[in-house]
């Protein structure tokens, strides 16, 4: 089995993707819409299936178009040919992240329309670029437009993550991305002397404090089987910079850290921690933001939420085992949660090794086809959810 997988681009050329998506909308019988943003932002596409009660809050099914690059030398299969082996495994970049889910939305709607089902709530299927680079040129811009406001979205679904066991992961929140650069300034001079108050000594304190947090969070995760990665804060030192010459004590050194901050850590406490690191390291130590997104701190309250109840009921009817957790990474759905729209992350992928962004990424054909059936039931249920959900 093969397909032209390049319709969903990894290089930022989206023209084929736009044309292909329009052809699918026309074929299924969905209204096709596109809004082009002012550069450097990109665009957003959405297809609309009008409900019998369009005045109700609508449902948004979101998928990103872009994928991460590949190292073709490390793939057994052509990463953009979507070839299937004798076991039914389809190998291609994006089979898990997240082309499969976007197609499952469309195929589920196609099937429901053939069956004569008409949703009460309107359904919008959105396709956006730039998710892999933070969504700042795609979904982040889209949710701020008048076009998005007119969609009257009351509930959203987006990608989740696969699972190697029988259960399906569903997320109600995700970790915030914090990337910080600490800079320490101190006395300089010839390296033959014991110079006091150096940048290196101060930066050592910074590194020790940050890695101590890393150690504590890692131990907390390992000691509690009820915790997932999304429930702790990961910390990794990723860049060290500084130095003028081997025999000169540097006047300035820096260390950069990537943190994925759990929403279970109060944002004010997290910021106080970073400030405290600088204070303890001493005068001349500061930090700057390389990237900061607090959107991940917004979570969807499940209790009393009629959309969640409808989603869960659909899964129970299909006897699906759910693993409800905070998503360990970041997806475009955080932009919906940030503006108060309840949303879940869910990819109907189980019994599958997690290979998003990995070599030989694949999805079994049976898992893929079952996912269409799963989304058929979910769409039926959430479009019929009670009129007034609890919105966080």
Q: How far apart are CA 47 and CA 59, in angstroms?
A: 12
64 is an annotated ligand-binding site residue: yes
According to DSSP, the β-strands at 343-346 and 153-158 are parallel
Is there a contact between 174 and 344 (Cβ–Cβ < 8 Å)?
no
Are 221 and 247 a contacting pair, CB within 8 Å? no
**Alpha helices (H) along the chain:** 15-28, 99-114, 139-142, 146-150, 199-223, 267-281, 306-317, 334-338, 365-382
- CA 391 to mean position of chain CA atoms: 21
* Residue whose pair of structure tokens reads 């930090």 in the numeric block: 287
Q: Are strands 176-185 and 252-261 parallel, antiparallel or unpaired?
A: antiparallel
Angle at 138 between CA 15 and CA 367, to 5 degrees: 75
Beta bridge partners of 35: 44
Catalytic residues: 66, 131
**Could you give the CA distance from residue 252 to residue 271 in angstroms, rounded to a whole number?**
24
Sign of CA pseudo-dihedral 74, 75, 80, 81:
positive
Q: Which three-class secondary structure string do you get for 255-315?
A: EEEEEEECCCCCHHHHHHHHHHHHHHHCCCEEEEEEEEECHHHCCCCCCCCHHHHHHHHHH
Q: Is residue 172 within 8 Å of residue 324, measured between CB atoms? A: yes
* Burial (CB count within 10 angstroms: exposed 0-12, middle 13-18, buried 19+), residue 286: middle
Q: How many degrees, rounded to 5, is the angle at CA 125 between CA 123 and CA 128?
A: 150
As separate numbers, helices (DSSP H) first and strands (DSSP E) second, the chain gives 9, 17
Length of the chain equals 392
Task: Tell me: is residue 124 an annotated ligand-binding position.
Answer: no
Judge whether 97 is annotated as a binding position: yes
Question: Residues annotated in the binding site for Zn(2+), as ranges?
Answer: 64, 97, 132, 159, 357
Question: Residues annotated in the binding site, as ranges?
Answer: 64, 97, 132, 159, 357
């Amino acid at each position: 089995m093969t397909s032209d997988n390049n319709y969903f681009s990894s290089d930022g050329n989206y023209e084929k993707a736009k044309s292909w998506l329009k052809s699918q909308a026309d074929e299924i019988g969905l209204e096709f819409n596109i809004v082009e943003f002012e550069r450097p932002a990109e665009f957003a596409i959405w297809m609309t299936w009008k409900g019998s009660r369009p005045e109700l809050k609508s449902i948004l099914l979101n998928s990103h178009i872009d994928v991460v690059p590949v190292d073709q030398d490390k793939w057994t299969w052509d990463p953009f040919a979507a070839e299937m082996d004798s076991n039914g495994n389809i190998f291609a970049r994006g089979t898990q992240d997240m082309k499969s889910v976007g197609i499952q939305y469309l195929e589920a709607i196609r099937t429901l329309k053939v069956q004569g089902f008409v949703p009460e709530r309107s359904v919008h299927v959105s396709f956006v670029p730039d998710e892999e680079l933070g969504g700042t040129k795609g979904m982040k811009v889209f949710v701020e437009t008048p076009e998005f406001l007119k969609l009257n979205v009351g509930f959203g679904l987006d990608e989740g993550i696969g699972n190697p066991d029988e259960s399906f992961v569903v997320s109600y929140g995700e970790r915030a991305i914090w990337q910080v650069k600490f800079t320490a300034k101190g006395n300089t001079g010839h390296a033959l002397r014991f110079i006091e108050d150096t940048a290196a000594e101060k930066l050592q304190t910074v590194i020790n404090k940050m890695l101590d947090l890393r150690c504590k969070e890692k131990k907390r995760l390992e000691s509690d089987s009820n915790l997932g990665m999304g429930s702790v804060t990961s910390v990794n030192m990723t860049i060290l910079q500084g130095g003028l010459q081997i025999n000169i004590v540097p006047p300035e050194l820096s260390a950069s850290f990537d943190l994925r901050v759990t929403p279970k850590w109060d944002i004010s406490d997290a910021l106080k921690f970073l400030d405290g690191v600088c204070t303890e390291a001493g005068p001349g130590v500061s930090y700057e933001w390389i990237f900061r997104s607090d959107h991940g701190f917004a979570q969807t309250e499940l209790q009393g939420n009629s959309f969640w109840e409808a989603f869960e009921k659909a899964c129970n009817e299909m006897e699906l085992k759910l693993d409800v957790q905070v998503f360990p990474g970041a997806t475009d759905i955080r932009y919906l949660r940030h503006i108060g729209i309840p949303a879940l992350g869910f990819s109907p992928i189980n019994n599958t090794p997690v290979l998003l962004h990995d070599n030989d990424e694949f999805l079994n054909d049976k898992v893929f086809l079952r996912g269409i059936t799963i989304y058929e039931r979910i769409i039926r249920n959430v479009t019929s959810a009670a009129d007034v959900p609890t919105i966080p």
